[in-house]
Amino acid sequence: MIKKLFVVTALMALMLSACGGGTPVETATPEPTVTLVTAATQAPTSESPVTGGTEAVVETPTTSPDATFTPGVPRPTNQPGCTNSASFVADITIPDNSIIGAGETFTKTWRISNTGTCIWASDYKLVHYSDQRMGAPDGVPLDITYPGETLDISVELVAPNSPGTYRGNFVIENPEGLIMKIDEDSRLWLIINVTNTAVAPTATTSSSTSPTATNSTTGDNGLGTASCSFTTDRTKLTDTIKAINAYRAQSGLPAYTVNNLLARAAQAHANDMACNNLFVHTGSDGSTPESRVAATGYVAASMSENVYGSYPPLTGQGVVNWWATDKTDPRHNQNLLSNTFTEIGVGYAFFDNYGYYVLVFAKP
């Protein structure tokens, strides 16, 4: 007769370690040092879709699968003396200085990494800390995140009703209500530029609640000439910015910030391209990337420009993919991954079934 002996040993201990937080301290941003490059244009043909080259999908960073803290299932146990700390990874949505419509509801998502030894769960939460609250809830519980894993934290916010630049600071509290250290600071923040219109000041926007606005403009102080009923699309502008900064994050590069003056120069040339069927950097009035940026009042130490037009139009992600994989002129991709430039402006115009993108890069 064979006897089987099952021995079960259970050991359970629950201790939560708190990480202290003081007044957050800003960290400095390293000065970019690489060489200036300039971009060229790839004109489309009449093929459908017109891309000027083979479009390849650029993968964006992914997170580790998040476990679900199911009611009734014991929370993962933290070891005595475990430590709480995190590291910022990327702005997944709404990079700093993104343009948001007044009163618009949007979702901000940060990606962070658990660099401590404690396991996070729903007893950890993201809370508003200082500056603009923007309708943030009292707290956003975290999903289960083990040491070494990454976590995307999202919060739904509402932009202020008045135009201007706004900042909101958020922190993560541990179960004892103490603020967790994130890198050399304690804060996760967002900075948005709130506007009353969906496009740059070079166009007159019709009254509309949709993300697309119909415009007609004429020459504007060296910014180019546009005299047709083109349309703009704020969703495409936002998606392009998100795609650019997600692509940069894959290479460990900081996100570009959006500058309103550069956006004005970019939108002006996009309008001109749409109305005059252009696929080049020179405007219909002879303007150049440099002259258009200077006309806005922006003083650039260095700058460059990517342009693109196609039928049917590409999405924001699609045009970034095209620039990133363009083998004819690799300077398109060099601009996307530059360490020289720190700011961008994006323009998009649609007319006669074609979509035209302009991306201006600069360093003040």
Domains of the chain plus CATH, in order, are 85-194 (2.60.40.10), 197-363 (3.40.33.10)
Using CB atoms within 10 Å of the CB of residue 282, give its burial: 0 to 12 exposed, 13 to 18 middle, 19+ buried. middle
Q: Where are the beta strands (DSSP E) in 219-301?
A: 230-233, 257-258
Report how far residue 132's alpha carbon sits from residue 168's, in angstroms, rounded to the nearest whole number: 5
Q: Per-residue b/e over 130-152, b at no fewer than 16 CB within 10 Å?
A: eebebebeeebebbbbeeebbbb
3 state DSSP class of 283: coil
Report how far residue 85's alpha carbon sits from residue 231's, in angstroms, rounded to the nearest whole number: 47
pLDDT of residue 118: 94
Written as one string, the DSSP assignment of 185-224 is BS-EEEEEEEESSSS-TTSPPPS-SSSEEEE-----TTS-
3 state DSSP class of 143: coil
Report how far residue 260's alpha carbon sits from residue 239's, in angstroms, rounded to the nearest whole number: 17
Backbone φ and ψ of 308, nearest 5°: -160, 145
Report how far residue 315's alpha carbon sits from residue 298's, in angstroms, rounded to the nearest whole number: 28
Beta bridge partners of 347: 358
In contact, 151 and 180? CB cutoff 8 Å: no
Q: Per-residue b/e over 26-52, b at no fewer than 16 CB within 10 Å?
A: eeeeeeeeeeebbbebbebeeeeebbb
Cα dihedral across residues 247, 248, 252, 258: positive or negative: negative
Please name which of 243, 203, 209 lies closest in space to residue 226, comparing C-alpha atoms.
203
DSSP summary character for residue 254: P
Please name which of 198, 303, 321, 310 lies closest in space to residue 250, comparing C-alpha atoms.
321
CB atoms within 10 A of CB 326: 23
Question: What is the edge-to-edge ordering of all strands in the sheet holding 188-195?
Answer: 98-101, 188-195, 164-173, 125-131, 140-141
State CA 106 to chain mean position distance: 13
Distance between start and end Cα atoms, the chain: 85
Q: Per-residue b/e over 86-119, b at no fewer than 16 CB within 10 Å?
A: bebbbbbbbbbbbbbbeebebebebbbbbebbbb
pLDDT of residue 175: 93
Apex 154 CA angle, 76 and 168, nearest 5:
120
pLDDT of residue 327: 87
Please name which of 363, 359, 255 lies closest in space to residue 41, comparing C-alpha atoms.
359
pLDDT along the chain (364 residues), means of 10: 40 37 39 35 36 33 38 74 93 89 92 94 95 94 92 94 92 94 92 70 31 43 67 90 95 94 93 91 92 95 95 93 92 96 95 94 96
Report how far residue 318's alpha carbon sits from residue 320's, in angstroms, rounded to the nearest whole number: 5
Please name which of 224, 352, 356, 210 lies closest in space to residue 279, comparing C-alpha atoms.
356
Report how far residue 73's alpha carbon sits from residue 145's, in angstroms, rounded to the nearest whole number: 15
User: In whole angstroms, how large is the CA radius of gyration of the chain?
Assistant: 24
Query: Considering the entire predicted model, what is its pTM?
Result: 0.45
Please name which of 145, 129, 143 lies closest in space to residue 84, comparing C-alpha atoms.
145
